[in-house]
Chain A
């Protein structure tokens, strides 16, 4: 089987996966213990009000009808309206308005570990069993062990104390860089993401950065949560990077390269680095679900109005269509990332195929 047949097969396999996810969602949402009517109305509502809402939400239709509606609506991205969290608003609208903040957070949460975790891991792998290796490895393990929830709370408590007097290492976080204190900006909150404009180049709108201060504010706002959100994957990348490096360093082709008299620099960058990246690839792509899961907590504590927080609200408030739609969107994203990962594999590693 050729590499591309393998890829096509993977692509087709996602279809049954998607369907089973949808069915599972339907069962969880409709047969689960949450009564959306009670969630929506609260304890004070009368029986007549409840019946009216039940009818309006379509909960009195036969189950198979609800199922068919559900599947067709979801496949066409027609998620309907939210029931509780933002009652009556289109779920797609809500998701679209909350997505930029999550993307902004996610992008930084992927970038930071990439540029901190991998170099540290490679450094540790190149200098095994030195003090530097031990420090980096131990630090990575401890950092990974700290729960995001705790880190977020501590980070907020530390940072807000730098405002008056209680400076951390002589740093006042509020006045560092763009001055938050003078602008009455909180260190929590949703990034506005209003620093770019578009200009027409040859009839095509091209975005450019129009407000560097706003960009700096948004970056400063997102750094602490992004660093925390990325903490787990940063540590994972560090450790896998170290192992991959160690394995590659000790492999025979490196010995050959050395015997050829190649310089250390060429060996590390051209031979070791590229080969060590292969095991890291699934780690990096699978970060996506860590980020989606983790952003629920981080967004909640840092008061960022993103997909994670909305997902959290819809789950706790029994907003079935919203929770279902977001789960579906997450599923589609993860399936997409898996396909992307397979694609990259087929491109990078010629050995990939279905039959060994």
Chain B
């Protein structure tokens, strides 16, 4: 008992320091971070409560609001979310960042969700290839017009199976790796580095209220068939995202905050009224959109592949167009975009070829062709790579040796260096390791689990060891839901968050677990049951076994079960889970595109999936305050 108490005292003083660092609006510190008030003398003596701060009878409430009831972590998260979403203008950036970090802290303190790892992408390429380093969003954002292959005119790659080249149907990285070469968006994340740049757009303007955005397009862009790209094409392409029955990401166009939130009319059945999307063509190179509310992430969202521009009337799957090609042809046989490569040949499940677009407005590609051999099996893919039939490749885990990496961290947190020679790979190849913008986690339905139990799990979970055991070290242990690559206050802010991480960092803290359990009167004589439901994933199953073994004897009887992914989802929506495993992968590197699922009111499983779409936490049950 004294141990955690001391730990908490240290911990909370660090948190105060963080607040000082962050500075920011005074109002924010007052509203959100009341438990870190320096005058809060109770913190030390009330150690076990320190993490959740507001749970005890430590009277600090009086200091920051007076008439408020006890403020739970859920309240804090809800208030922070509302503050962030009600201040969407660019000048409020700092305020939003702090609000998101507050949500992250509230989540950590309540242990409603325990992050396990962030995906790690590793890329290997032979020395005769010169390819720009890809970033945290993934190599499928990379256009190969700046890649060179010494002594060859073709770039050869490996891809997974996919079956659609229609940007509005693409939801996987395999298709988007090819689509990126052929089609382009108004903005882009070049090489998958999470920094937005203009692509087909030359400039933009936003109205003062943040709801009207005006984009000016480049005037020197041609489609592969030679016709010029104009604002009409953009409007048509974006209309397809909501009106076409083939669209699988309509919500990214019309929803907020998970998407752009362009105004649109719907009829009584909820179907989109034809041509009602608030996209207006001002002139040939100017287009204006009207949003239902201000959105700070517009430029990020329009870089997503469903917003790619295709020639007006190319496919007739929306009202008013007959289409030059059928949709089935458009999916796999023909393509007409503005990108640095044109579609050559696509043999579904066998290979794809794109050929150089010599009239590209930007840097014309050096290689004449890019070929992807489609291989699902790791043995086949590894054989293909060793034969040097693939120029850029992945090393499967069975052939992977971490010690063969010789790399240094660059200023974007990527590991850059060399790999090998190792095993069957007879030569040294280039190496790149990038922590992805994805988070895989254990979630809890908080109404079915006690906080002490959740915290105890967080204490015993040694994420380093799990990543090492299961992936041979090919993952980044996660301590926050937001991946470090998009941490609102940057690398330093993330390190501060790590410094004050209350649970175990790189170890398994059984004592900490026992203390919180004792505090809640959970002992091995009076145990509680906890069921962990994982989807079919070796990682989570192994992690679950490890945790179960570690936690046994402390008063938590943990049992493991496995469910199909879709079963897990529907059970989550029914609120029928205790502890479960899931993951989230960011489609664009915006903090709210992820955080919206942690808004306590949005985690209400009783109204899922129609009204709420958050994580299956039922965090709203912990709300004490009246929501605004």
Contacts and interface: CB of A to CB of B under 8 A. Distances in A.
A160 B613 contact: no
B245 A56 contact: yes
Interface centre among A39, A88, A98, A184 (most CB of B within 10 A): A88
Contacts of B565: 38, 43
A164 interface: yes
B566 A53 contact: no
B103 interface: no
Contacts of A88: 163-164, 169, 246, 327-328, 331
Given A38-B566, A156-B379, A318-B566, A45 B248 contact: yes
B386 A188 contact: no
A186 interface: yes
Interface centre among A156, A300, A305 (most CB of B within 10 A): A305
B465 interface: no
A105 to B, nearest CB: 14
Nearest to B328: A88
Contacts, number: 134
Interface string B165-184: 00001011000000000000
Interface string A89-104: 1000010011000000
A188 B380 contact: yes
B536 to A, nearest CB: 10
Given A43-B569, A46-B255, A160-B383, A86 B163 contact: yes
Interface in B323-344: 327-328, 331-332
A227 B319 CA distance: 55
Contact of B250 (A42, A52, A160): A52
Interface in A152-175: 152-153, 156-157, 160-161, 163-165
Interface stretch (B23-31, B119-127, B582-590): B582-590
A300 B258 CA distance: 37
Q: How many residues of B sit at the interface, in one of the four size bands?
A: 35 or more
Given A186-B373, A186-B384, A33 B567 contact: yes
B349 A310 contact: yes
A255 interface: no
Nearest to A97: B348
Contact of B379 (A35, A40, A50, A301): A301
Given A87-B169, A88-B164, A186-B389, A53 B380 contact: no
A88 B381 CA distance: 27
A137 interface: no
A163 B566 contact: no
Contact of B383 (A50, A56, A156): A156
A35 B570 contact: yes
A326 to B, nearest CB: 14
B613 A47 contact: yes
B387 A160 contact: yes
A85 B245 contact: no
B564 interface: yes
A100 to B, nearest CB: 12
B377 A300 contact: yes
B387 A163 contact: yes
Nearest to A53: B248
Interface in A304-325: 305, 309-310, 313, 318
B566 to A, nearest CB: 4
Contacts of B564: 33-34
Contact of A89 (B348, B567, B587): B348
Contacts of A305: 349-350, 374
B163 A41 contact: no
Contact of A303 (B255, B376, B608, B610): B376
B118 interface: no
Nearest to A318: B566
B161 interface: yes
A287 B585 CA distance: 45
A70 interface: no
B585 A86 contact: no
A44 interface: yes
B248 A49 contact: yes
Given A44-B585, A49-B249, A53-B248, A160 B566 contact: no
A41 B248 CA distance: 7
A190 interface: yes
Nearest to B611: A47
Interface string B244-259: 0110111100010010
Contacts of A122: none
Nearest to A161: B424
B380 A301 contact: yes
B211 to A, nearest CB: 22
B375 interface: yes
Contacts of A79: none
A187 interface: yes
B250 A49 contact: yes
Contacts of A56: 245
A188 B566 contact: no
B69 interface: no
A181 B374 CA distance: 20
A318 B76 CA distance: 41
A68 interface: no
B590 to A, nearest CB: 14
A302 interface: yes
B387 A89 contact: no
A189 interface: yes
Interface of B: 161, 163-164, 169, 171-172, 245-246, 248-251, 255, 258, 270, 327-328, 331-332, 348-350, 373-377, 379-381, 383-384, 386-387, 389, 424, 426, 564-567, 569-570, 582-585, 587, 608-610, 613
Given A46-B255, A48-B270, 7 more contacts: A43-B569, A46-B613, A88-B169, A157-B379, A160-B387, A181-B387, A186-B389
Q: Which 3 A-B pairs have the closest CB atoms?
A: A35-B566, A303-B380, A38-B566
10 contacts: A43-B583, A47-B609, A52-B250, A87-B163, A156-B383, A163-B387, A165-B426, A187-B383, A190-B350, A318-B566
